[in-house]
Amino acid sequence: MTLSVQRRGSIFLVLAVCLLVVGICTPFGGHDLQRVMQIAIGFCAVLYGISVTPTEPWVDRQTALGLSVIVGLGVTSSLLAHQPLWALTEVALFVSCAAIALAFASLRRHGGEPLDRALLLIVVLLCLIKTFQYLYAGVLAFASGGPTLNPDLLLSSFSNKRFYGQFQTLTLPLLALPLLLPTVSRSLRGMAFALLCAWWLIAISGGTRGTWLGMGVAGMVLALLGPWGRRWLGWQLAAMLGGLWVYWLLFTVLATYLGIETSNDASERLTTSLSGRGPIWWQGWQMVAERPWLGFGPMHFADIANKVAAHPHQAVLQWASEWGVLSTLCVAVLAGRSGWATVAVLRERARSSERADLLRLCLFAALVGALTQSMVDGVLVMPNSQVWLALVVGWLMALHRWRTPATATWPLAWTVWKVLSVLAIALLVHVALRDVPHIKQAQRQYLDATGSYLQPRFWAQGVIAR
């Protein structure tokens, strides 16, 4: 039985990695492809999840009750919404992300510490591919002989450079893990540091301020969690300075020598402006004031068309305006309890140099950084960011050390969860089969009718208002 579970876990991991590579590394990819890949990963996660019977519960009773309330409030809000099917699609997306998290948690629980090395290899592989793509595009740009060079054009596979920045916020903390492990050789540590510098170079080139904010807050939090947290911060600062130095050499020294003018330089984006967020934050606040308890319905910020975006670029406003204040409070309480429980384990294991403890530290930094960035960006909306958030949460669940012995599993609750996850992924597959064949046509019609630009939400054209 154990071998069978491990084999199914291996199949799920291979499929998930292949789908991640396609979604993140395909040059012609973007938001819609990443959404399809997310649904495919969710489908694999549900199949894997329903085939595994847990020997102990993943969460305590209070957390399970809170999640049930959130889903119940979401369904109720959806049924009262202007477009119930789109609202239920957003609830299904939430459930599928939970299924992905549980699948990764189950994978790590059954696979043990070797899966930690596999996770690190996956992160390194993806970041290496993206780094080679960036450097290759840079070589072509410098060799083209053009009079100007825009660093934004060196970024590929993402519809918007901010979405790329979200991916970097979730992976920069994990790339520092080899630099913390005492058993890593000096040559491997040098290569790991070079990759981290290159990843910071791309982050600086992209200029996503949310990444800087997220990494800054994560660094301050980890500095309070013991010597390994401060060592993690030291490596990140060193790599950031290395990336900044390389950026200066490439886009200032080399560009000047070749007579190339750099447009959209990173220094031009070091501002405190809201970049158009003011109107959509105000719209979100008005929606909360008008329907405070159950909100307008999940995804229904996109049902009120505006000229800026189909989501408010602020996680709390988004959840409160769409799902309601009651659901928002439940989410905040659960996030606070889970975060505090993880901090307690991190402080208890603050001086441990075991791989699992150092990985837990890096995963927590990624989670803090992403949640911080979600206060100013659409981390909770973009498909790739949702998958990586689910992966980080699931791995942290698997690594968690319970202070009290785990209670017995609840067969009825597990059965209800399996039914719910199957229904959720079935709805998402239905929406994908319905929309994907007509996506390009729908986008052209929207652009012709509005003369605007695409506003991503579920799809790249995310405005559902009719």
**Residue appearing with tokens 């920069």:** 172
In this predicted structure, what is the pLDDT of residue 274? Answer: 72
* Token code pair at residue 441: 């046509």
**CA geometry: angle 302, 303, 308, nearest 5 deg:** 45
pTM, whole model, 2 decimals? 0.94
Nearest to 128 by CA among 25, 204, 29: 25
For CA atoms 344, 345, 349, 350, the dihedral sign is negative
In this predicted structure, what is the pLDDT of residue 280? Answer: 93
Q: Which residues contact 288 (CB under 8 A, 6 or more apart)?
A: 295, 317, 320, 321, 325
- Secondary structure (3-state) at 258: coil
Axis crossing angle, helix 186-206 with helix 209-223, rounded to the nearest 10: 140
Axis crossing angle, helix 114-143 with helix 84-111, rounded to the nearest 10: 120
In terms of phi and psi (left: phi > 0; alpha: psi -120 to 50; beta: otherwise), the region of 150 is: beta
Give the helix ranges, DSSP H, for 324-382. 325-348, 355-373
Taking residue 265's Cβ as centre, other Cβ atoms within 10 Å add up to: 18
Between the two ends of the chain, the Cα-to-Cα distance in Å is 52
How far is the C-alpha of 299 from the C-alpha of 430, rounded, in Å? 17
pLDDT digit string (tens) for the chain, length 466 residues: 455 677 888 888 889 989 998 989 887 778 999 999 999 999 999 999 888 877 777 788 888 899 999 999 999 999 999 999 999 999 999 999 999 999 999 999 888 899 999 999 999 999 999 999 999 999 998 888 788 888 888 888 888 888 999 999 999 999 999 999 998 889 999 999 999 999 999 999 988 889 999 999 999 999 999 999 999 999 999 999 999 999 999 998 998 888 888 887 777 776 767 777 899 999 999 999 999 999 999 999 999 988 889 999 999 999 999 999 999 999 999 999 999 999 999 999 989 889 999 999 999 999 999 999 999 999 999 999 999 999 999 999 999 877 665 555 677 888 889 999 999 999 999 999 999 999 999 899 988 887 778 899 999 999 998 6
CB 135 within 8 A of CB 422: no
For CA atoms 339, 331, 90, 47, the dihedral sign is positive
In this predicted structure, what is the pLDDT of residue 312? Answer: 94
In terms of phi and psi (left: phi > 0; alpha: psi -120 to 50; beta: otherwise), the region of 425 is: alpha
How far is the C-alpha of 142 from the C-alpha of 229, rounded, in Å? 39
**CA geometry: angle 30, 97, 51, nearest 5 deg:** 120
**Residue appearing with tokens 């158009």:** 276
